[in-house]
Chains A and B, each alone.
Chain A
Amino acid sequence: MKRYGILVWVVAICIGCFGLASYSAAGEVYPSRPIQIIVPFPPGGVADLVARPFATALEKDLKQPVVVVNKTGAGGAVGMQTAAVAKPDGYTLMVALSSISVMPEVDILFNRPPTYKLEDFAPIALLTSDPTILAVRKETPWKTVAEFVADAKRRPNEIKYSSSGVYGTMHVAMELFTHAAGIQLRHIPTAGGGPALTALLGGHVDCSSIGPNVAIPQVKAGALRVLASWGDKRLAALPDVPTLKELGYKDVEFYIWSGFFAPRATPPAAIKVLREATRKAVNTPEFKTAMEKMETPIAYLDADDFQKFWDKDAKRLIEGVRHIGKVQ
């Protein structure tokens, strides 16, 4: 019995020491522990593929392990909420896509308490930015946006398009365009970017607003045709494709961008370190090669510029969601 008692004390003291040790470490220079980057999307997706090389590049500068954790669900809301309420000590960060701006508005639309607010996040930097493109099947007769719009006006609600999900990036992008052009298309939501592409290739829908990386190989193989892009400038990979802005549709811009965020209450000292580290990381040759291989252009913007970009972009997206309203 006596031996048993002493044993318990020993174990308790050991556990206590462990605990104290981790706590005392927190008072030192940031970063002194491994950092976690939450990615609210499944592995293999755009956010994930940007975050992982980025994390590796950050490790070099911060001299601490930077681990990517996928926390998927609800179109990204689960991961974003986790990051929003995480302890703001600078050890839990997030890489998210432009859909971050959409979710709170959708919650408001459905009279739900918002899962998070845009103000919960402090932007650290914009990493990449890709405009979406309007891809149509090769069997369709439209060669230009003008033909497409004319046809759509002739037979409203007949032309079908696929999206990655209701209020998702592909949906909002398309709606921005249809609203500006005054046309009505039939929306077929699918379970994600992959199924949306499959539906388009299989001929079950006529067109779609997709990200360039997945579309370009199909275009090269002749299965799809690209009519326009939602960008500010023409895409380097598709120099013959006009932007919707050029064609006269003002303010119809949509980017699938990835950004690096921290909880708003993170100490400014930590954020400063992160901004500096990010600036160095995006300029490393390894990160540059990784992005080049994936044909994702780096569009680095530091925190203040990013905040301006984000605000403008968010405004556009929120307007789009309000136009869509509740889907019946």
Chain B
Amino acid sequence: MLPLGTHGRPGPGYFPLLLSVLLGVLGLLLFLRGGSSAHFRSIRWEEAKHAAAILACSFLATFGIEKLGYRITMILILGFLFGVVERLKLWLVFVLTIGLSLGSFWVFDSLLRVILPRGGFGF
């Protein structure tokens, strides 16, 4: 537990505790006033599956970008999104995936000299 310190010398735990309490109070108020707002059921979740797919790609990017390398990760992600999720025509999937992955790599790595990781396969 982070020390709280005193009022005259707040420690590292002081503000987080204060804010958490505040958040709790506000949350409680929201909960109590919940009756007057729109019904939970009225929220539409129709795009949730789609969003989950995109989210999975985003997390794949997080872990893959350094283990697999930028280009491979991007090819996987874009290929998945264009090909499986969006079901574009095959040639279009191919062109876009390879083009964007390698193209963006070239722009950033060679032109702008931002090192993008090459991953375990060296690619």
The answer to whether B115 touches A36 (Cβ under 8 A) is yes
Chain A residues numbered 1-40 whose CB sits less than 8 Å from any CB in chain B: 4, 7, 15, 18-19, 21-23, 36
B123 touches A22 (CB 8 A): yes
Minimum distance in angstroms from A258 CB to a CB of chain B: 21
Total residue contacts A-B, CB cutoff 8 A: 25
* Contact yes or no, A67 B113, CB < 8 A: yes
Q: Given A4-B90, A23-B122, answer yes or no on A15-B72 (Cβ-Cβ < 8 Å).
A: yes
List, in ascending order, chain B residues with CB within 8 A of A22's CB.
118, 121-123
- Please report the total number of B residues contacting A with Cβ < 8 Å: 13
Kindly report which residue of chain A lies nearest to residue B6, judged by CB atoms.
A328
Across the interface, do A67 and B123 meet the contact criterion of CB distance under 8 Å? no
Determine which of A19, A69, A328 lies in contact with B123 in the assembled complex, contact meaning CB atoms within 8 Å.
A19
Choice from B3, B115, B123 contacting A18 with Cβ under 8 Å: B123
Complex-state Cα separation, A90 to B76, whole angstroms: 30
Contacts of B72 in A (CB 8 A): 15
- Taking CB atoms and an 8 Å cut-off, the chain B residues in 11-40 that contact chain A are 11
Instruction: Name A19's closest neighbour in chain B (CB-CB).
Output: B121
A136–B70 Cα gap in the complex (Å)?
Answer: 50
**Number of A residues whose C-beta is below 8 Å from B?**
12
Q: Which residues of A contact B11 (CB under 8 A)?
A: 328
Residues of A within 8 A of B115 (CB): 36, 67, 69
Distance, CA A80 to CA B39, complexed state (A): 51
Contacts of A36 in B (CB 8 A): 115
Given A36-B115, A69-B115; A328-B3 close (CB under 8 Å): yes
Bound-state Cα–Cα, A15 to B9, Å = 59
Report yes or no: B122 in contact with A328, Cβ–Cβ below 8 A: no
Per-position binary interface string of chain B over residues 110-123, scored 1 when its CB falls under 8 Å from any chain A CB and 0 otherwise? 00010100100111
Residues of A within 8 A of B9 (CB): 328
Minimal beta-carbon separation of A16 from chain B (angstroms): 9
Which residue among B3, B94, B115, B123 has the maximum number of chain A CB atoms within 10 Å of its CB? B123
B103 at the interface (CB under 8 A from A): no
Smallest CB gap from B90: residue in A: A4
Residues of B within 8 A of A328 (CB): 3, 5, 9, 11
B78 CB, nearest partner CB in chain A, Å: 13
Taking CB as reference atom, which chain B residue is nearest A65? Answer: B113
CA distance A7 to B9 in the complex (A): 67
**Beta-carbon contact of A18 and B5 below 8 Å:** no
Residue from B5, B90, B121 having most chain A Cβ neighbours under 10 A: B121
Question: Looking across the interface, which residue of chain B has its beta carbon closest to that of A34?
Answer: B115
Contact B90 A19 (CB under 8 A): no
Q: Which of B35-92 contact A (CB under 8 A)?
A: 72, 90
What is A's interface to B at a CB cutoff of 8 Å? 4, 7, 15, 18-19, 21-23, 36, 67, 69, 328
Binding site for A on B (CB under 8 A): 3, 5, 9, 11, 72, 90, 94, 113, 115, 118, 121-123
- Can you list 15 residue pairs at the A/B interface with Cβ under 8 Å? A7-B94, A15-B123, A18-B121, A18-B122, A18-B123, A19-B123, A21-B122, A22-B122, A22-B123, A36-B115, A67-B115, A69-B115, A328-B3, A328-B9, A328-B11
